[in-house]
Structure 1
Amino acid sequence: MPKLTIDGVEIEVAPGTSVLQACEQLGIEVPRFCYHERLSVPANCRMCLVEVERMPKPAASCALPVGEGMVVRTNTPNVHKARKGVMEFLLINHPLDCPICDQGGECDLQDQAVSYGYDRSRFEENKRTVSEKYMGPLIKTYMTRCIQCTRCIRFVDEIAGVAALGGLARGEHLEITPALEAGVNSELSGNLVDVCPVGALTSRPYAFNARPWELRKTESVDVMDAVGSNIRIDSRGGEVLRVLPRLNEDVNEEWISDKTRYAIDGLKRQRLDRPYVRGADGKLKPATWAEAFAAIRTRLANVPGNRIAGIAGDLVDVESTVALKDLLTALGSANLDCRQDGASFDTSARAGYVFNSTIAGIENADAVLLIGTNPRWEASLVNARLRKTYLTGKLKKVAVIGQNVDLTFPTEWLGNSGSVLADLISGAHPFAEVLKGAKNPLIILGAAALRRGDGPAVQAAARALAETVGAVRDDWNGFNVLHLAAGRVGALDAGFLPGSGGRDLSGILAGTQSGEIEAVYLLGADEIDASKFGNAFVIYQGHHGDRGAHRADVILPGAAYTEKNATYVNTEGRVQQARLATFPLGEAREDWKIIRALSGELGQALPYDTLTQVRQRMVQVNPVFATLDRVVPAAWAAFGAEGNVADAHFTSPIENFYMTDPISRASQTMAECTEAFLKPAIAAAAAE
């Protein structure tokens, strides 16, 4: 390992480390614009100049590998003068609009100009102007501010994997522009706003809403998918104004999906802010909490526990799931299910329903098999991690059983039939040899594979394949289930499943049709056809007036994920906590508090009154909830049900990436994305 001296301090670094990275290891700040830790190095802004002994002139530290015995100086008069010269060139054509720039207060150029900018310009010619570019409904452009750092081009090419941006012309005429003015059609396009070091690319929905120093910043987790991306919620007053990514190398690195970032305007539309009770005329009418609880108490007074059922939705937190389970169990009901999409699989072993290799572990895989999943839409950050591993050259082959879609990296389509699984297990399919020859084979089982009637058989077949090809060892577990819902793994860990003699979702719906189930408690369950509840008495607890609320006889207004301190478990089994950024609207309350209050009205008061007590109860239910922000490896055991896998197709449950839950369906921004990106693609496909 080479040793070098930086500003008089000797340091030993790994071979291939750049001088800039070595400076960072010592805590020495080197200004930069084009350099980004996760992108290739173009060395075109020249702001990171340093002096190196025996080199005739300052060198760009971002592109200069360290060498044995190298002596580097980062803070000499010559270095400072060189950086001031670079800054002067950058500001020649940059507009003087800092007071009205939406990037003000968060602009890298503005920050560096304080240290290296002159107080006047020697440039007397007219500044150049560049026409604005259309990049879709999410990104607003001011391309006159662009300093041609090319971060945006490198991001869409390398991370997002779409050929959406490029440069036209040369020299001072160079312009960054989208292809054919068609916008940036990527699930990760919002990250362009973060990587842009100036105000050339800004958030269109957030533009001119607030200055950064006006915002209250809350660290939390995302619930738009099951990845559990770490986020920062910026709010002012009672309104969430934006969501930004928070660094977590093991989960989302420093990226988030567009739905995570931009669906937040759905938090202030179609909200439930007071209880409602359906009157004798069949219409929902506003009510007090006492009236809503009284209506529930009266209706359930003579209903046996085995005629009551509970269904937990996709965005529910563990606290409310445990509370509802305790309440329904106290009432004598074992009819519980958290799989509102109808998924059927064995939950006896935790390893059978989590992402065992972990998201970061994808980077160790050299062969991947995707079964019934489209990770680009179902978990954009998992797809980005797969692409990252492919680009490093470590991941040699990715094969797909299911719909043949563009995942932004080369894949081999094996077909869309369950028979392919049997051929892989028997060794009759050629890709079986690829998996057996891989050092760390990875199998990802998607929601489409488990939503079928033969879900347990598919699960067992995938387990048998993993064991056959050596994907499960003491030092590696390559069997993974990729969930869609943020609340699913937490509810499974809490045991919100049919008890002894209890009904699952299909049994509950059949019971409501036959009259054997008289009451259903929907905890944020909005993905079920309302007509399937028959004449049952429906209690809906949630935060949006979506499908569940339309069918409800009593509505109890709950809190959205930004309005409560809550626990979520992501698809890899990582327990994380969301934190309250704003208070619930109107008379809405946190979900576990509603259930606790209702339990007292029904004569089955739950034995906890504070959040701490609820979380102690969670740990009693399952000790896994005691370990935060760390994946606890699940013990490998037999799971699934032996049987033949049908030849039916694997069909992704997501038809519209931008609208998958009550929040995103209420979002005007997500509606605009659907119009801009999905409808033209559907029309083009139909024309073919």
Structure 2
Amino acid sequence: MFGRFSSAARTLTRASTSRVFVPPPQVVVGAKFFSSTPPPVDTITVTVDGSPVEIPKGSTVLHACETAGVEIPRFCYHQRLSIAGNCRMCLVEVEKAPKPVASCAMPAMPNMNIKTTTPLVKKAREGVMEFLLANHPLDCPICDQGGECDLQDQAMVFGSDRGRFVETKRGVEDKELGPLVKTVMTRCIHCTRCVRFAKEVAGVEDLGTTGRGRDTEIGTYVSKLFRSEMSGNVIDLCPVGALTSKPYAFTARSWELKKTESVDVSDALGSNILVDTKGTEVMRITPRLNEEINEEWISDKARFQYDGLKRQRIDVPMAKAAGGLAAVSWEEAFEKIAEAVSKASKDEIKGIAGKLADAESIVAMKDLLNRLGSGNHMCEGFPTLGADIRSSYLMNSSIVGVEDADAILLVGTNPRVEAPVLNARLRRACLSTGATVANVGSPLNLTFPVEELGMGAATLKELDAQSHPFFKTMKEAANPMIVVGAGLVGREDGLALLQTLHSLAEKTGVVGEGWNGFNMLHDSAGRVAGLDLGFLPSESAKKAAAKVVFLLNSDDFDEADVPADAFVVYVGSHGDKGATRADVILPGAAYTEKSSTYVNTEGRPQRTKAAVAPIGQARDDWTIVRALSEVLGASLPYDDLNAVRARLAEVAPHMERTTEVEPSTWLNGSTYAHIPAGTTSDAPFTSSVANFYMTDAVSRASVTMAKCTSTKLT
């Protein structure tokens, strides 16, 4: 079992244990492209195993070895965490040094001669490994880390074939961290990766070390839960089996899993993920490295909500009968819909796109409604926002760009629950570069200092009138930023508030040469694609009362948008609110069961890939709309996925350039003519996310997310 998967192979599948230094990619900031590669710096030359290597001044010995292509074993070192230097596995020999040095913590000096394969280095590593295994239990056959364990791999490559310790192995009591992270602390080797992650990235200082020597333990000092929306990342960071996934425990081995690259849809950030499947079931979800979006972190909801994919699923078409909903054939379901549509006028037919609607299904639904003569379609929660100017509803600075801001104003948003990975970047900007963060809205409990300015519209007006002290802070900042929550625009006075924010942005220099700091943080994966595709009501449709309503993955619609006497058709994957309201239900595929396009909050199109087959009779949403169009006498002109995507590119050309952000132009002039004036309410600004663990149909069906809610982790 030892060494079944090499470190090199695991590098490709587990970003958190990456052995290879990856240079940062190009990123988009505002309307210009900038390279995140640092400017030319002084370099030094060192020798690694007889080969000269040129590295930036200030690099460590470990970096020099990595640059030379020499793999150095390590347990405590991680490229995104501070240096601890406590595992001593990365020992190398440096000429003229009296003893082996820890390469992760030793600065490289000019003309340094580094040796990594000498007998002294091999003996030192064997000794370190012997100490680590002295108290490590022989749990490999029952450990969930088996097959992707750093200790296994490095014991095979760098360890000895025997040990000299005969004392009884110590035992450590397991810690209860909550329903997500399982602990077997006897396996812990005290690398402190989890402690440093909690403090430096998650911003929750719940973990630490107690005791000394043999009695050292990782824990919470006093018994408490690990309260963080990103706690699951310690599972990837742990180099042994001390911290593993509690929902995944004893369900599968890593070599039994098929990995599929995909995109998370639990929020609008579009974090890159790997969907691990066994047969027809999703077994776990892990992060996939993407420096421009989520780096190698994902939120707990993205990681653990997958059990909701097999619960409360809709697997057959259903129609309302005398005794309630009953299973019917596709033909019967389509006939009932056609009968209802025939009794409604063109603008009385309405479509609502929900949080999990993909771009292919949205464009198909829009084309169908338009062919029926209806312009009555809208994105859930955004009924009136104009979509003519992309910069008015995107995160224009890009996700990476938030780290360049030095004065940040949060308005009606709580990034900790709306986008935890983005919150980690805001924390980095606040702590490492000294950015000042202020909030207008309900008081926030973030992971970094926030200045509370006020609760609502009155504070915004003070800022716009230049009478609030924070106006000066923004005006003097080099890169000021405004982050607007999606819940703010969804208010009845949302457009009036947006008008004030645009005025404030103009006065404080939020938008300038090479920098656009006006950002909207959306709360759902499908909304930006809907806005890009113009899935908004026409002027005539806004006044029409709907008699037939198509709910496209819409489970959080406003009751006012669906009249009580309307005939409702629900297209989706779960028996949630939308299905409860429906007269006809058409089973759609979940995001892990289809290849589809989602556009994240910064306007970056990304595609999921089908990891498993759809359940029962479920089909891709766009194929359902395509089949329905024939029955309604308005056949759509595409029959396969490539044709649908060609139509996507025709409506929104940037959809064709997946993984890229098309810079948006700031066209909002000083008159803000495209935003109608209006009165504002005194109601305080609040986040659109009330419960982080339950925000859509999938997470509400998840037992794991229900446990998180019941234990009050937020």
Q: TM-score normalized by structure 2?
A: 0.92
Give 2:568's aligned residue.
538
Three-state SS of the structure 1 residue aligned to 2:394 is coil
One of 284, 287, 290 as aligned partner of 2:325: 284
Structure 1 stretch displaced more, 238-247 or 67-76: 67-76
In the aligned structure 2, how far is the partner of 1:501 from the partner of 1:398? Answer: 42
Give 2:682's aligned residue.
647
In structure 2, list runs of 5 or more residues that go unmatched.
1-42, 669-673
In the aligned structure 2, how far is the partner of 1:8 from the partner of 1:492? Answer: 58
Give 1:313's aligned residue.
354
Give 1:590's aligned residue.
620
Three-state SS of the structure 2 residue aligned to 1:63 is coil
CA contact (8 A) 1:419 1:646 kept: no
Give 2:405's aligned residue.
365
In the aligned structure 2, how far is the partner of 1:185 from the partner of 1:285? Answer: 43
What amino acid sits opposite 1:527 in the alignment? D
Matched, 1:11 2:46: no
One of 441, 444, 448 as aligned partner of 1:405: 444
Residue 162 of structure 1 and its aligned partner are, at CA, apart by 0.7
Residue 4 of structure 1 and its aligned partner are, at CA, apart by 1.3
Give 1:518's aligned residue.
547
Matched, 1:455 2:494: yes
List per-residue Cα deviations over 1:492-512 (Å, max 9, x = no partner).
Answer: 001111124222xxx5xxx5x
Three-state SS of the structure 2 residue aligned to 1:618 is helix
CA contact (8 A) 1:599 1:606 kept: yes
Give 2:265's aligned residue.
223
Structure 1 stretch displaced more, 295-304 or 231-240: 295-304
What amino acid sits opposite 1:387 in the alignment? R
Matched, 1:36 2:75: no
In the aligned structure 1, how far is the partner of 2:293 from the partner of 2:414? Answer: 18
List per-residue Cα deviations over 1:638-684 (Å, max 9, x = no partner).
Answer: 25333454432101221111001000000000000011125xx7xxx
Residue 344 of structure 1 and its aligned partner are, at CA, apart by 4.2
Structure 1 stretch displaced more, 476-485 or 452-461: 452-461
Residue 347 of structure 1 and its aligned partner are, at CA, apart by 2.2
Alignment of 1:499-578 (within 5 A): 499-503=538-542, 516-528=545-557, 532-578=562-608
Give 1:423's aligned residue.
462
Alignment of 1:1-150 (within 5 A): 1-150=43-192
Three-state SS of the structure 1 residue aligned to 2:370 is helix
Alignment of 1:157-556 (within 5 A): 157-279=199-321, 281=322, 283-338=324-379, 340-342=380-382, 344-392=384-432, 394-503=433-542, 516-528=545-557, 532-556=562-586
In the aligned structure 2, how far is the partner of 1:105 from the partner of 1:94? Answer: 17
List per-residue Cα deviations over 1:12-36 (Å, max 9, x = no partner).
Answer: 2222211112222232210000001
Structure 1 stretch displaced more, 445-454 or 308-317: 445-454
Give 1:605's aligned residue.
635
Three-state SS of the structure 1 residue aligned to 2:711 is helix
In the aligned structure 2, how far is the partner of 1:266 from the partner of 1:628? Answer: 28
CA contact (8 A) 1:169 1:175 kept: yes
CA contact (8 A) 2:268 2:525 kept: yes
| Shift in CA distance, 641/28, structure 1 to aligned 2, threshold 3 Å | farther
Structure 1 stretch displaced more, 641-650 or 57-66: 641-650
One of 664, 669, 691 as aligned partner of 1:634: 664
Structure 1 stretch displaced more, 559-568 or 627-636: 627-636
In the aligned structure 2, how far is the partner of 1:83 from the partner of 1:391? Answer: 36
Three-state SS of the structure 2 residue aligned to 1:62 is coil
CA contact (8 A) 1:345 1:459 kept: no
Residue 171 of structure 1 and its aligned partner are, at CA, apart by 0.5
What amino acid sits opposite 2:458 in the alignment? S
List per-residue Cα deviations over 1:383-406 (Å, max 9, x = no partner).
Answer: 0101112221x1331000011111
CA contact (8 A) 1:542 1:557 kept: yes
CA contact (8 A) 1:530 1:547 kept: no
Matched, 1:623 2:653: yes
What amino acid sits opposite 2:445 in the alignment? D
| Shift in CA distance, 368/244, structure 1 to aligned 2, threshold 3 Å | same
CA contact (8 A) 2:523 2:688 kept: no
Q: TM-score normalized by structure 1?
A: 0.95
Give 2:709's aligned residue.
674
Three-state SS of the structure 1 residue aligned to 2:250 is coil
Percent of paired sites with the same residue: 54
Give 1:686's aligned residue.
none
CA contact (8 A) 1:344 1:452 kept: no
Give 2:35's aligned residue.
none
Three-state SS of the structure 2 residue aligned to 1:533 is coil
Give 2:30's aligned residue.
none
Matched, 1:661 2:678: no
Three-state SS of the structure 2 residue aligned to 1:422 is helix
What amino acid sits opposite 1:347 in the alignment? A
Residue 426 of structure 1 and its aligned partner are, at CA, apart by 2.1
Three-state SS of the structure 1 residue aligned to 2:690 is coil
In the aligned structure 1, how far is the partner of 2:65 from the partner of 2:365? Answer: 54
Residue 618 of structure 1 and its aligned partner are, at CA, apart by 0.4
In the aligned structure 1, how far is the partner of 2:564 from the partner of 2:632? Answer: 24
CA contact (8 A) 1:343 1:455 kept: no
In the aligned structure 2, how far is the partner of 1:368 from the partner of 1:672? Answer: 34
Three-state SS of the structure 2 residue aligned to 1:181 is coil
What amino acid sits opposite 1:177 in the alignment? G
Residue 342 of structure 1 and its aligned partner are, at CA, apart by 4.9
In the aligned structure 1, how far is the partner of 2:122 from the partner of 2:296? Answer: 31
CA contact (8 A) 1:346 1:456 kept: no
In the aligned structure 2, how far is the partner of 1:13 from the partner of 1:305? Answer: 67
In the aligned structure 1, how far is the partner of 2:383 from the partner of 2:711? Answer: 32
List per-residue Cα deviations over 1:211-266 (Å, max 9, x = no partner).
Answer: 01111100000000000000000001111010000000110000000000000000
Residue 417 of structure 1 and its aligned partner are, at CA, apart by 1.6
